[in-house]
């Protein structure tokens, strides 16, 4: 399936703005499975997306959680807790 990953704030600084790619999930195609798969890409990904780090996720520009299934063509954003206002 095709996914577009975006990173913001501290994650963008170490991983770049993001990319689009074909992803073949081993199991259910959830946001959490994608996060785990991305951790294996580089040392920087492993650190920035490590379990226990405060990483929030949005799917197709809606706040989501890691159990949410992804559809083909999904835009998945990973970012730290928000600090606006």
Partner 1 sequence: MIASRVTVQEADFDLAAEVAALQHGREDVGAVASFVGCVRGGASEAGVSALTLEHYPGMTERAIEGMVAEANRRFRLLGVRVIHRVGRLEPGARIVLVAVASAHRRDAFEGCEFLMDYLKTHAPFWKKETTPGGERWVDARVADDEALRRWGIASENAGAPGRPSPSS
| Separation in Å, CA 6 to CA 15, 26, 85 | 9, 21, 22
Q: Which stretch binds partner 1 (CB under 8 A): 19-27, 36-44, 59-67?
A: 59-67
Binding mask 39-58 toward partner 1 (x if CB under 8 A, else -) reads: -------------xxxxx-x
Of residues 44 and 82, the one with the C-beta less far from partner 1: 82
Quote the distance between the C-alpha of residue 38 and its chain's center. 7
User: How do the residues of the chain divide into helix, strand and coil, expressed in percent and rounded to 5?
Assistant: 25, 30, 45
CB of 24 to partner 1, least distance (A): 27
The answer to whether residue 38 forms part of the interface with partner 1 (CB under 8 A) is no
Pair 6, 34: CB distance under 8 Å: no
CB of 25 to partner 1, least distance (A): 24
């Amino acid at each position: 399936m095709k996914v577009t990953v975006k990173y913001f704030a501290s994650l963008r600084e170490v991983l770049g703005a993001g990319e689009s790619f074909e992803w073949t999930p081993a199991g259910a195609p959830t946001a959490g499975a994608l996060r785990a798969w991305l951790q294996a890409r580089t040392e920087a990904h492993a650190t920035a997306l490590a379990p226990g780090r405060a990483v929030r996720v949005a799917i197709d520009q809606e706040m989501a959680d890691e159990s949410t299934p992804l559809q083909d063509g999904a835009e998945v954003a990973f970012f730290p807790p928000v600090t606006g206002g």
